[in-house]
Amino acid sequence: MNNLKANKRETKSTGQNNQLRAKGLIPAILYGGKVENEKISIEKKQLKSFLESESFLSTVIELDIEGKKEKVIPRDISYHVTSDEPLHIDFMRVVSGSKIIIEIPVVFKNQEKSPGLKRGGVLNIVRRKVELKCPADKIPEKIIIDLDGSDIGTSIKISSVKLEEDVTPTISDRDFVIATVAAPTVVKEPEKPAAEGEAVEGAEGETAAAEGGEAAPQAKEGEQAKKDEKSKDAGAEKKPAEKKAADKKTPEKK
């Protein structure tokens, strides 16, 4: 069982509590049962490991108040708005025979043995805590879910969880779901080799088109050469005609 040491305190005002905090102490209150409420303080360094645990508010603690030991359970913690430092803690006495309602954290094990998760499935957690009604001296620290053998499509409900005697969920009108093993949300499509071949063929087609485009101007140059030759022939034909025209000139008068 977890243990904490505490001291009685006489502080009443906010200023006096701030002075305690400056000394590394956290003000707290202990209530429950037929005993009067008791003001206490606890060293902050003792609480560090407890506060980092998700199950702190559902863990039974043996509180040693200056030699007097009591079983208690944390019920509420107040934190500073900006620094997140603990400011105050409420503890409730665990009275044998009484029942309390408490939220118990859910823990999953054997994820590596789940066929569904191995095939890329996703663990969809619906409830990270389950509210239970249980005897004050039989509070479970956690609810363990075994994922061994769970495949895609598996739905884990509260009925599959083994709870101790007299421990029952506060939701009793339905068999509610705690978690499911769902199919992958994103499926990666396999690469298509044919697409690469098509791309290569397309590239070759573009090359052939480019080569054809270069051949066209060459053909035009050939046609232009033929036109030039015709023009030369036409010029050659015109020269004799010009000579005849010169011969027909009027002879000079004597």
Whether 209 has a pLDDT exceeding 50, the answer reads no
Whether 252 has a pLDDT exceeding 50, the answer reads no
3-class state of residue 157 by DSSP = strand
**Contact assessment for residue 100 and residue 139, using Cβ atoms and an 8 Å cutoff:** yes
Q: Where are the domains of the chain?
A: 2-95, 100-182, 192-235
Domain 2-95: CATH superfamily, name plus number: Ribosomal Protein L25; Chain P (2.40.240.10)
pTM above 0.75, yes or no: no
pLDDT digit string, tens, across residues 25-72? 999 999 988 889 999 999 999 988 888 887 888 888 999 999 999 999
The pair phi, psi for residue 232, each rounded to 5°, is -65, -45
d(CA 126, CA 124): 6
**Contact assessment for residue 103 and residue 130, using Cβ atoms and an 8 Å cutoff:** yes
Q: In CATH terms, are 2-95 and 100-182 the same topology?
A: no
pLDDT digit string, tens, across residues 217-243? 444 455 554 555 555 554 444 444 444
- What top-level class would CATH report for the domain 100-182? mainly beta
Region of 7 on the Ramachandran plot (φ > 0 left; ψ -120 to 50 alpha; else beta): beta
pLDDT digit string, tens, across residues 166-208? 999 999 999 999 999 999 876 556 666 655 555 444 444 444 4
**Contact assessment for residue 122 and residue 182, using Cβ atoms and an 8 Å cutoff:** yes
d(CA 167, CA 162): 10
